[in-house]
Structure 1
């Protein structure tokens, strides 16, 4: 059976005028069919929490064979070098190149049975989410759903390249998911 563990819960900080001052993504481990898959690797600031989670689970970063990046913004890719043996996947359209990454062009791409990348643009052109069939249907949404309120209030991410596409992606996630792991917060039930 597929297991999920949130390695660290990301967050966003804004100043009094609403300007973003800090962003650190949530990072999730998926264990499926002998595979260790990490969705988003977060930032160096979050590494101590990620390392502690690995220790508690009994897995090491060297055991991770796959990294899926929901997109290429720095708050989601900052610890990539800590996964030296992992094959990295990212959807096409990103402005930042990830050296050696496999670029997925399809709308949906199966990583392994029960785990698939799904293109969910709007926040940015390459945005994808990871749909997982486990004890429930989970979505690691990245910044397609950066915070719980985005899905609950049907509100596009504050930073977006296409508001209409962002809202369509939120709806696609809502239709599939029982549980959403947002890009910058704790998991929540839909």
Structure 2
């Protein structure tokens, strides 16, 4: 059976309730071109709260005070975060890892606690489960070892915090200019659209995935 897929930004709150995990967008990422040919960019920062508190992407180093304040608004401190995921190694996504020295750190396919690096199979294309509801899945393309975070059981269904797998909802072909491997990234984008009900992209508002038979 063939299913058509369309995407829509409408009708989703940036705080998604769920059981046992809720997902909140602390900062919506952006990317805007400048007249001199440069561009301004910052990555989306997302917080998953539940049995374990998980921060996905930390923004750039310029976001340090902003991030601490946003956590405070949630009744949290950096020490409250058990796991920090950097979807990939660009500075606008991992610029504040230093706030979380005691958390488990997952950046791309590296998983570490302090200076101890843990075995995993992300680089071989296998997901890394956190528990029955949250897993880290490999989604390379933008860079060689990008990952995304899949959260099941929310009020909006399955949420994928996708880093720069998607720049934004309607990124058309613009994402290809920043991709190390557009063919692999396109394959992973299509897989993401099949498994997720909501996608949180790296540089724009979250969006809904509509699947129709």
TM-score by length of 2: 0.77
Post-superposition Cα deviations, 1:73-120, rounded to whole Å, max 9, x if no partner, equal 111110110112211012339xxxx96565743321102221111111
Q: Equivalent of 2:49, from 31, 35, 43?
A: 31
CA distance in 1, matches of 2:192, 2:38: 25
CA distance in 2, matches of 1:165, 1:134: 28
Larger radius of gyration: 2
User: For residue 118 of structure 1, what is the aligned residue in structure 2?
Assistant: 137
3-state DSSP of counterpart to 1:137: strand
CA distance in 1, matches of 2:80, 2:117: 18
Question: 1:144, CA displacement in angstroms?
Answer: 0.6
Uncovered stretches (5+) of structure 1, i.e. residues with no partner: none
Matches within 5 A, 1:19-168: 19-33=37-51, 35-92=52-109, 102=118, 104-106=120-122, 107=125, 108-135=127-154, 136-150=157-171, 153=172, 156-168=175-187
CA distance in 2, matches of 1:69, 1:139: 14
Q: 1:100 to 1:42 in 2, by over 3 A?
A: farther
Uncovered stretches (5+) of structure 2, i.e. residues with no partner: 1-19
CA distance in 2, matches of 1:137, 1:163: 25
Q: Equivalent of 1:14, from 26, 29, 33?
A: 33
Q: Name the count of aligned residue pairs.
A: 182
Q: RMSD across aligned C-alpha pairs, in angstroms?
A: 2.2
CA distance in 2, matches of 1:154, 1:139: 20
